Amino acid sequence: MPDKLKTLFEKHFKEDVIDLSPLPAHGSNREYFRLSNDQRSVIGAKNMDRLENDAFISFSRHFRSKGLDVPEIYAEDLDHHIYLQQDLGDITLFDYLRKVREGRKGFPEELLKTYEQVVERLPQFQIKGGQGLDYSKSYPHHSFDRQSMMWDLNYFKYYFLKLAHIRFNEQQLEQDFRTFTDFLLQADGNHFLYRDFQSRNIMLNDNKPWFIDYQGGRKGALQYDIASLLFDAKADLPFEVREHLLDHYLSAASQLLPIDREAFTRHYYAFVYIRIMQAMGAYGYRGFYERKTHFLQSIPYAVRNLEYLIRKVDLSIKIPVMMDVFHQLIQSSALREFGKAKLRLKVRISSFSYKNGVPIDDRGHGGGFVFDCRFLPNPGRDIAYKKLTGNDQEVIDWFASKPDMTRWLKRLFTMVDAAVTSYEEQNFTDLMISFGCTGGQHRSVHSANKLAAHLKETHDIDVVVHHRELEA
């Protein structure tokens, strides 16, 4: 096959090939080669799937006619399953993301700007690129319709849930799948759906993003592709960055098409769910079934994404068996420990009054502590402190003079440190700790603040503090 690529190169360019070297194909069955001489470098592709080649070449030429940044197709010999395309270098968005983030906290500004460029260009493909596109070339299916959705959901069921030994009633799960697809199909599905819009399918060349691997594209809803990018498991974007980029995407799309943001968001997170399920099906098939263990390394990130959705999103449909499956996944220590994933822990600390009830962790996994602070000395009994809170310096100084509080905090820190360390080792990402007292004003607030300060000083984790009664 390399000889046939060499012949195609020399026939098209009327030049000799000086160097021909294979390139990694990652999870694809396609084979890639770099062919070069002193004048040029191109990428040669071999793919035995004729229909997939037809789709890629047809879509590429259509997108270039629309001014979109995709590789030029120089020549093809589809009887021998080969073609030559523009060489866009070796740096994917995922490579760049890993390089820029290495050894740095947060999400660097230059990386955010690159992602903003990417989400600005996505609507160009979906809306402008979809105009006049020959969808008859779409492969293996013309649209992301009910049949396509059910393929993905059953892929998830058979290649992930069953192989991961997750319990479910199959008939009831199928009913939930039907309810879920009914909801997804309410979204406008008349745009180009890239299908695999993620960081490894975006090249960075000439200081701008270029786009590849859209041969699985078809007609579908706008929500799917932006969900694919922002919930790309191993890219592990901070959740606040995802929200920012979603807003940036909607602003860009609104310049090409009127966008009802409320209607878009109503279905967006459902498309996030189905994209995660499709990806997990692939991780299960490639990892559990084909024993390609590097695919298993994405599982902890996918589980963390599900945990975020469970906490954040209320879909306006009832799918109880699906939700039970998701809860089993996020509660599994084994699934969180594949590969070398290192997920960042968030500790949510709150204070409350027992008169108003104990806070309920209705979106997390239920782990954590509730501490009763009513046994501690209470400054609220002194008129001088009655209207103050545990946030005020006078109250902080008052507690500093009380040995009972000092001993309590020391024991508290020891207990919570052990839990935090264990949660980090198991790749759990959420720990809730609540402190209650009579009014939720002094003792619980002070204890919560002290623990938060201690954890920020001693652990590389995210800490969020909420004083329920003071912030109500």
Domain 2-86 has CATH 3.30.200.20: yes
Ranges for all domains in the chain classified under CATH 3.90.1200.10: 93-336
11-23 pLDDT, tens per residue? 999 999 999 999 9
156-166 pLDDT, tens per residue? 999 999 999 99
Contacts of 245 (CB under 8 A, 6+ apart): 115, 116, 119, 226, 229, 230, 237
For residue 364, what pLDDT band results from cuts at 50, 70 and 90?
A: low
Residue with tokens 């996918």: 302
Indicate the pairing of strand 346-353 with strand 368-372. unpaired
Residue with tokens 């799948």: 177
114-149 pLDDT, tens per residue? 999 999 999 999 999 999 999 999 999 999 999 999
- As a whole number, mean pLDDT of residues 240-250 equals 97
pLDDT at 242: 97
Contacts of 268 (CB under 8 A, 6+ apart): 223, 226, 227, 246
Q: How far is C-alpha 343 from the chain's CA centre?
A: 12
Architecture of domain 93-336 in this structure: Alpha-Beta Complex (3.90)
Distance separating alpha carbons of residues 234 and 285, to the nearest angstrom: 17
For residue 326, what pLDDT band results from cuts at 50, 70 and 90?
A: very high
432-462 pLDDT, tens per residue? 999 999 999 999 999 999 999 999 999 999 9
Ranges for all domains in the chain classified under CATH 3.30.200.20: 2-86
